Amino acid sequence: MSASRIMVGVSGGVDSSVAAWRLVQQGEAVAGLFMQNWADDGTGQCRAEDDRRDAVAVCGVLGILFHFRDFSSEYWQGVFEHFLAEYAAGRTPNPDVLCNREVKFKHFLDAARELGAERIATGHYARIDRHGGRWRLLRGADHGKDQSYFLHQLGQEQLAATLFPIGDLHKTDLRRIARDAGLPTHAKKDSTGICFIGERDFRQFLGRYLPARSGQIRDPQGRYIADHPGVFYFTLGQREGLNIGGVRGRPAAPWYVVGKDVAANVLYVDQDRDSPWLQSRRLRSEVAHWVAGSPPARRFDCTAQTRYRQPDEPCTVAVEDDGSVSVRFARDQRAVTPGQSLVLYDGDQCLGGAVIATTDAPMPLGMASLSEEVSIR
């Protein structure tokens, strides 16, 4: 056995199970730690206890120690409060990015070190290497499962202490390995969404924390279309849940969210999926994070994603004096959403990213224009 100790974040899923198995096969001194990030709210919708039992079973099969830590308080303060504040402001946050930064690669790393581990490992589909004296975050080999988008807030200290044992695998191969190894999670369905929401209705859940008030749905010219149950239940480009029936004088075509005015409690919609009201070519971010500790240059070309699993989009990035970035895309982008993450890439290397603040998408009538704030030198 190696003298080094590695703490694997065992989630009760097949990915972390295979991550732990591979490290054991390599002769590493491994232990598992299950993180509870959401306190039971009495609805039975979050499957944390089932996942915990599966994690215990995996550790038993592998013959490794099992540890448990309750990070629900840290999750509430570091992730969920921000999640609620963003929705209340009319933005669409990405809690998975914050969870990685604030919990999995902060509190989990600290707990692992307290238990004597030198490094941590997780079942993320991503890779790490060292080049030119710096640690690099790379996409997973399975680009369809790559999770570097959610890991872009990691820095040199976290990467130096982290292993991604399944980053070179494709999902189908991983399932086969789990089955052949006799891991009890080999056929377990992948989890989707956010644990604290689970399978429940999103509006019903959010309404427990952000009491909504109904208001008007209007078209971009300000004409009344229908009523909505609350503007922060919707995000740009969304089609589902609008419940707009037949509208006199309008074609029988789907409606899409193209704008939100939280102050006026108005939701704006259009019937064109590629509506000009959803198109933007420039954006401005909040302060950016760089995996290497600094940007590659004050101005550079790269590719970007403004949402998970989006194809790479060529762009030019300018780093502003306040640490934010201004980005100009080579072509129009659909439904770039404030609150979501802009993640920058050089090939397979994740350079870093930032929260999207504003875009130059046209604003429907009655909404304050943000386009003047978006500039690129």
Task: Give the CATH number of the domain where residue 290 resides.
Answer: 2.40.30.10
Position 86 in a domain: yes
Q: Are residues 30 and 89 in the same domain?
A: yes
Spatial CB neighbours of 377, under 8 Å, sequence gap ≥ 6? 299, 318, 326
d(CA 195, CA 36): 10
Q: Are residues 110 and 31 in the same domain?
A: yes
Range of the domain at 322: 278-373
Position 88 in a domain: yes
Q: Are residues 247 and 287 in the same domain?
A: no
Task: Give the CATH number of the domain where residue 249 resides.
Answer: 2.30.30.280
Biggest CA-to-CA distance, the chain: 74
Position 197 in a domain: no
CB-CB contact of 264 with 366 (8 Å): yes
Q: Are residues 355 and 255 in the same domain?
A: no
Q: Are residues 136 and 29 in the same domain?
A: yes
Q: How many domains is the chain built from?
A: 3
Q: Which of 130, 158, 180 delimits the end of a domain? A: 180
Q: Are residues 10 and 136 in the same domain?
A: yes
Q: Are residues 218 and 104 in the same domain?
A: no
Q: Are residues 132 and 10 in the same domain?
A: yes
Q: Are residues 231 and 321 in the same domain?
A: no
List the beta strands (DSSP E) in the chain: 5-9, 29-36, 65-70, 119-121, 126-131, 134-139, 162-163, 215-218, 224-228, 256-261, 266-270, 279-285, 289-290, 299-305, 313-319, 325-334, 341-346, 349-359
Q: Are residues 282 and 266 in the same domain?
A: no
Position 198 in a domain: no
Q: Are residues 111 and 234 in the same domain?
A: no
Q: Are residues 367 and 289 in the same domain?
A: yes
Position 306 in a domain: yes
> Per residue of the chain (377 residues), what is the pLDDT tens digit?
344 599 999 999 999 999 999 999 999 999 999 999 987 665 555 678 899 999 999 999 999 999 999 999 999 999 999 999 999 998 999 999 999 999 999 999 999 999 999 999 999 999 999 999 999 999 999 999 999 999 999 999 999 999 999 999 999 999 999 999 999 999 998 876 666 666 667 788 888 898 888 999 999 999 999 999 999 899 999 999 998 988 888 988 999 999 999 999 999 999 999 999 999 999 999 999 999 999 999 999 999 999 999 999 999 999 999 999 999 999 999 999 999 999 999 999 999 999 999 999 998 876 755 444 555 45
Residues with a catalytic annotation lie at: 99, 195
